Amino acid sequence: MRYLTIDEALNRGSGAVNLRGWVYRERKSNKFVFIVLRDESDIIQCVISKEKNPELFEEATKLTIESSVRLTGELKKDDRAPTGYEISPVSDLEVIQIADPFPITAEQSLELLYDNRHLWLRSRKLNAVLKVRHCVVGAIHEFFRSRGYYLFDAPIFQPIQSEGGATLFEVKYFEDDKIYLSQTWQLYAEAAIFSLGKIYNMGPTFRAEKSKSSRHLAEFWMAEMEAAWMKLDEVTEVAKDEVRFIIQEVLKHNRKEIEILQRDIDLLERYAKEEYPTIKYSEALDILANEYQMHVPWGKDLRTIEEGKIGEYFNVPVVVTHYPTKIMGFYKPPSEDKPEEALCFDMLAPEGYCEIIGGSERSLLVNDMIKRLEAEGEDPTKYEWYFDLRKYGSVPHSGYGLGVERVVSWICGLDNIKDAIAFPRTMTRKNP
């Protein structure tokens, strides 16, 4: 017996088909049982008639939400059915398992949905998001591979920090030692570019963010790149091309998901083709002051609310460069003409999604880095291997990291980043 997915059946358009899946919705009357069948590809209404098949009707009346079935029937066009087609009549029905009462019903608290995440994954919304995520991840690999970047894997257990000690996850390392979970791939990537030139990676990243915001996860996936010889003005253009490419791929492969998520496709099409501006941090402050009467003193980091306004002002992703050196990580170099400005950038997405990428040129100034590490309370001797990279054929180089869930969240128009990953980990959620 050959089974079609619902999507394959819909493409066929008519005739007898064998399907298998789960009961997404069911409705019973005296004469008919209507079930909406769900599989990985779509949903379709299936009609079981008492008059035509009393035994099947009897069997079908026992079906509950999420029961698993195999069935055979005639595929027909019917404008009243949810997807424009239905299976009518069902001529054969095999019940695989009658599901217990499903804990997720129409009106649910968010907490209950997160507690039942292992079951909620079956929802049309999460199914659509996971498919978009699949496409985004594939697009990132393709983007870098097709441009001559090598995949390079760094350790997840790391003995030093690079993005601030406050968000480190410390783990016991054998008997009486400790180590940290990776906050970034970057430092190891900086070693590898001397061998491989241009590299990229996508991997799990850990930050003990003591934040209940809708944009922070404790475990997320970061897609990073690093390239020898590359300067700030070039790396920002790679980042823009990457984001446009990701959106183009989603538009190519995920039309159906965009519709299910009710995401504005015109907006995505605009993001896929328009130029993204680059401005300096100081220009961002001017825009905030002049357009929004928000007076951020020079030297303060942009908060979410301010990033949001910059995103609103441009209405496409915008690259902001030259943040104040003193609030940046030790590896972001001071610019030569204005050392108070660092050669770094963030990309801010519009519609309130804010920072999706962070990156920079990398400092080649060992003494400056030592001072800044000391100021952060770090022991610079632990960074000797990293400083070696400045001693043996040092070259200018740059890189950035893109938050996969931040991008999926934005592309899908999600309210919370937790829905951009299957099993979210945050300060207040580690189950299931």
Beta carbons of 207 and 167 less than 8 angstroms apart: yes
Choose, by CB under 6 A, the member of 50, 133, 216, 240 that binds ligand 4AD.
216
Which residues touch 114 (CB under 8 Å, ≥6 apart)?
Answer: 120, 418, 424, 429
Per-residue contact flags (x/-) with ligand 4AD for residues 373 to 402, judged by CB under 6 A: --------------------------xxx-
- 419 part of the interface to ligand 4AD, by CB under 6 A: no
Contact pick of 21, 311, 317, 403 for ligand 4AD (by CB under 6 A): 403
- Is residue 31 within 8 A of residue 16, CB to CB? The reply is no
Tokens at 12, concatenated:
């066929």
Among 207, 244, 263, 309, binds ligand 4AD (CB under 6 A): 207
Segment contacting ligand 4AD by CB under 6 A, of 103-111, 260-268, 317-325, 403-411: 403-411
Q: How far is the CB of 232 from ligand 4AD (least distance, A)?
A: 12
Which lies closer to ligand 4AD via its Cβ, residue 144 or residue 220? Answer: 220
Closest residue by beta carbon to Mg ion: 358
Secondary structure of 345-382 as H, E, C letters:
EEEEECCCCEEEEEEEECCCCHHHHHHHHHHCCCCHHH
Nearer to Mg ion, 73 or 358 (CB): 358
Instruction: Give dist(CA 233, CA 256) in Å, integer.
Output: 37
Instruction: Burial-class residue 210 by CB neighbours within 10 Å (0-12, 13-18, 19+).
Output: exposed
Tell me how far, at minimum, the Cβ of 122 lies from Mg ion, in Å: 34
Does residue number 198 form part of the binding site for ligand 4AD (CB under 6 A)? no
**Segment near ligand 4AD (CB under 6 A), from 15-23, 25-33, 68-76, 212-220?**
212-220
Binds ligand 4AD (CB under 6 A): choice among 389, 405, 408, 424: 405
Q: Count interface residues toward ligand 4AD (CB under 6 A).
A: 21
Positions in the binding site for Mg ion (CB under 5 A):
358
Nearest distance from C-beta of residue 150 to ligand 4AD, angstroms: 16
User: How many Å apart are CA 201 and CA 410, to the nearest integer?
Assistant: 21
Angle subtended by helix axes 232-253 and 124-145, to nearest 10: 130
What DSSP state is assigned to residue 415?
S
Among residues 21 and 399, whose Cβ is nearest to ligand 4AD? 399
In the block, tokens 């030592």 appear at 370
Interaction residues for ligand 4AD, span 151-190 (CB under 6 A): 163, 184, 186
Footprint on residues 222-251 left by ligand 4AD (CB under 6 A): 222, 224
Q: In the complex with Mg ion, which residue's Cβ is closer, 139 or 328?
A: 328
Binding of residue 44 to ligand 4AD (CB under 6 A): no
- Least distance (Å) between residue 347 CB and ligand 4AD: 7
The three-point CA angle 193-230-371 to 5° equals 75
Q: Evaluate whether 34 touches 63 at the Cβ level (below 8 Å).
A: no
Asked whether position 311 contacts ligand 4AD by CB under 6 A, the answer is no
- Would you tell me the crossing angle of helices 404-412 and 232-253 to the nearest 10 degrees? 50
Question: 355 forms bridges with which residues in the sheet?
Answer: 348
Q: Where are the beta strands (DSSP E) in 233-353?
A: 278-280, 318-321, 344-349
Q: Write out the residues near ligand 4AD by the rule CB under 6 A.
A: 163, 184, 186, 207, 209, 216-217, 220, 222, 224, 355-359, 399-401, 403, 405-406
